[in-house]
Amino acid sequence: MNITDITKLAGAHRKRKRIGRGTGSGNGKTAGRGHKGAGQRAGWKSRGMAEGGQMPLFRRLPKRGFNNINFATRYNVVNVKDLEERFESGGHVTFASLSEAGLIRHKRLGVKVLGFGKLSKKLTVEAHKFSKQAAEKISAAGGEAKVVNNRPSADQ
């Protein structure tokens, strides 16, 4: 039995915590917020990194080694399966057509085509990068995989 199996049984609907309803309720007066300070006021949100004057953990620990996040080249990933679903046989697949088809999320990043899925349509695909498997599948279907070097602009 799992917690998901509980429907009409006891515990299926937990009662909401009624705060600020008198001292007898156990959550009266300060309504579980404590005394004074910003945490008691409405509209206050805590910052996850703040440790109340103590040096935060991320500043206490030494920074060591190499971090690739600043230097990595990121791409919009499009699978061969998506090309099969969204484009007609004999079609020309470009950055603009992929964007129009809703396959591209980030307009400033390039496009990398990966080989997941099957491709039976003959397509001419223009992208910034192809996986080995994707290029093989496109050419096996009678299409062409063209590598484009220009970076897309934000207005495309």
* pTM of the full structure: 0.59
Range 131-146 average pLDDT: 94
Strand locations in the chain (E):
75-79, 92-93, 110-114, 124-127, 129-130, 144-147
Residue ranges covered by each domain of the chain = 75-147
75-147 CATH: 3.100.10.10
Task: Locate all alpha helices (DSSP H) within the chain, ordered by sequence.
Answer: 57-60, 80-86, 95-100, 132-140
* pLDDT band at residue 98 using 50, 70 and 90 as cut-offs: very high
Range 120-144 average pLDDT: 94
Strand locations in 22-105 (E):
75-79, 92-93
Average pLDDT, the chain: 88
